[in-house]
Amino acid sequence: MPRTHATLPRLHVEPDLAEGAELTLGKEQSLYLAAVLRKVVGDEVVLFNGRDGAWLTRLTSDSKKSVTLQLVERIAAQTPPSDLWYGFAPLKTERLDYVIQKATEMGAGTIQPVITKFTQVNRLKHERLVANAIEAAEQCEVLSVPEVLPETTLDRLIDGWDTERRLILADEGEASSSPVEILSALKGQKIGLLIGPEGGFSPEERERLRALPYAVPISLGPRILRADTAAVAALAVIQAIIGDWR
């Protein structure tokens, strides 16, 4: 898909986007555009809201408190949100921000923190995770912001799992063989990916996960990857083999 308007700032907004509408931005986004980017009346900005595609807009006011934007034209039709579910055991703060941003850039549609026995953190600031997903979505030009769910536990996850969805389990204990064939066989199916914590899954958790009928254990190679590396590596492999090419 050819990229258009790549040099313009892209902002996620909540309101509906339609022909002729005029939007007034909140303080934070107004300050960002008028003060940080020094945008002035007449400058162009791209807006998206996850429902109405991407819209080219033009500043009609460059007040640092409340920038107003006139919608000019839709420049990209809305694409369906990604169906790729991504579960991970939360990491410490800055690497947690990193993992949320990378999962968004790699096309996850649902981001689910999963507390496991060896998970390092338990209390998550949900609004911070959402802000990271929005910031990454703005930067990587997706048209939908992935849904970041409140943390759950491995037990609750398994109890509530949609058994139609295959769960790709990044397992460093899996025999080190290429996941290409295993993943190719999942093409067209609903899939999720689960990455364990820095300390790994406990033996009991790993055994339980591998025994699930919908589990698909894969190796990411002979090296033990850090959890945030494994997340990006696994998502890249999955997207390369059965991903959202259009």
Which stretches of the chain bind ligand SAH, using CB under 6 A?
170-172, 195-196, 198, 200-201, 219-221, 223-225, 227, 230
At closest approach, how far in Å is the CB of 86 from ligand SAH? Answer: 12
At closest approach, how far in Å is the CB of 19 from ligand SAH? Answer: 47
At closest approach, how far in Å is the CB of 17 from ligand SAH? Answer: 39
Closer to ligand SAH by CB, 42 or 222: give it. Answer: 222
* Cα gap 8→164, rounded to integer Å: 41
At closest approach, how far in Å is the CB of 225 from ligand SAH? Answer: 4
Closer to ligand SAH by CB, 46 or 230: give it. Answer: 230
At closest approach, how far in Å is the CB of 38 from ligand SAH? Answer: 43
Closest CA to 229 of 106, 82, 142, 139: 106
* Cα gap 9→138, rounded to integer Å: 8
Closer to ligand SAH by CB, 26 or 199: give it. Answer: 199
- The separation between the first and the last C-alpha atoms of the chain, rounded to the nearest angstrom, is 7
Closer to ligand SAH by CB, 57 or 119: give it. Answer: 119
Tokens of 100: 């949320």
* DSSP assignments along 218-246, one per residue: E---SS---HHHHHHHHHHHHHHHH----
Closer to ligand SAH by CB, 63 or 122: give it. Answer: 122
In Å, how far are 109, 112, 121, 234 from 87, measured between CA atoms?
Answer: 11, 5, 15, 12
Closer to ligand SAH by CB, 107 or 200: give it. Answer: 200
Closest CA to 170 of 121, 104, 99, 246: 99
Q: Which helix (H) or strand (E) holds 71?
A: strand 68-76
In terms of residues, how long is the chain? 246
Closer to ligand SAH by CB, 54 or 157: give it. Answer: 157
At closest approach, how far in Å is the CB of 160 from ligand SAH? Answer: 21
Read off the DSSP letter of residue 79: P
At closest approach, how far in Å is the CB of 238 from ligand SAH? Answer: 12
| Closest residue to ligand SAH, based on beta-carbon distance | 196
In Å, how far are 1, 103, 197 from 58, measured between CA atoms?
Answer: 24, 31, 45
